[in-house]
A and B are shown apart, each in its own frame.
Chain A
């Protein structure tokens, strides 16, 4: 997938600079589009690391330290989709924590996860959770059906070989 810039649109935007990091808060119909990703929510707070120069007003952002989306959070990335009340993306820890009645759907295998909290490990396609519930596609009945009539055998049963002579 062609890497794309991260574009964030919203009604309000507030950016503050501290010595080692900058905090930006987007509020009001927030939409983030990035590489193969779309995230929408009511409020988004991004804490980005700055280079060591504290005097620069809006410094160099080294990378995301954290990104917290709250309020009607919807995330769509490739074949996976998540909906929840709060999503905390922690790039440094390579994980995302979903709370607030999270639901994750993987359309490639038609699986759904729900729980009190779901923790997704980035790049490993692994999901852990508290009180997690996993729903997959129906599995064929693996039990023995006793009522089923056996079909008549067309050929005689194979003769048993004579016992070997000593």
Chain B
């Protein structure tokens, strides 16, 4: 390859790399129909975050409208384990923490929980609701005193 084109190629590559690192996202525009999957180290789907609208709130923080968070079994079966629904939520992408002040519904085949002012920590496998909690367990609790 003639030296000039090689030089040009190198220049283009350098320019491309330079622009990529300086590109700033336009953060004031909402993302419509936001979708963000997450995977286990083995490559199985772990969760799928969806929202009708997402706004970039700050570094690593995204505000969502109409959160629909699907948690999978995280194995080859790729089955839906639990659904978390909320009118609004904030996601901390770095440590996969989702929280909200609004109402929340957690739906699973063995229970359904609702309340408000909540957090879901995916890595710690922990759900916390701090107001108006109501949990319906589809499990019988019989004859405690009989």
Contact = CB atoms under 8 A, between A and B. Distances in A.
Interface of A: 3, 5-18, 24, 26, 32, 34-35, 37, 39, 48, 53, 55-61, 63-64, 67, 75, 77-78, 80-82, 89, 96, 104, 120, 122-123, 125
Contacts of B108: 58
Given A13-B128, A16-B125, A60 B110 contact: yes
A10 B136 CA distance: 12
B14 interface: no
6 contacts: A13-B130, A15-B126, A17-B125, A58-B106, A77-B146, A123-B146
Nearest to A80: B145
Contacts of B129: 12-14
Contacts of B44: 55
Interface stretch (B22-30, B52-60, B68-76): B68-76
B140 A9 contact: no
A53 B46 CA distance: 13
Interface size class of B (residues with CB under 8 A): 35 or more
Given A34-B140, A56-B73, 13 more contacts: A3-B142, A6-B141, A12-B130, A12-B131, A32-B141, A57-B74, A58-B127, A60-B110, A67-B141, A75-B144, A78-B146, A96-B145, A104-B145
A139 to B, nearest CB: 25
Given A16-B125, A17-B126, A82 B145 contact: yes
A143 B145 CA distance: 36
B143 A5 contact: no
A13 B115 contact: yes
B59 to A, nearest CB: 26
B23 to A, nearest CB: 35
A123 B73 contact: no
B110 to A, nearest CB: 4
B40 interface: yes
A75 to B, nearest CB: 6
B135 A14 contact: no
Nearest to B124: A16
Contact of B75 (A55, A89, A104): A55
Most buried by A among B75, B126, B138, B145: B145
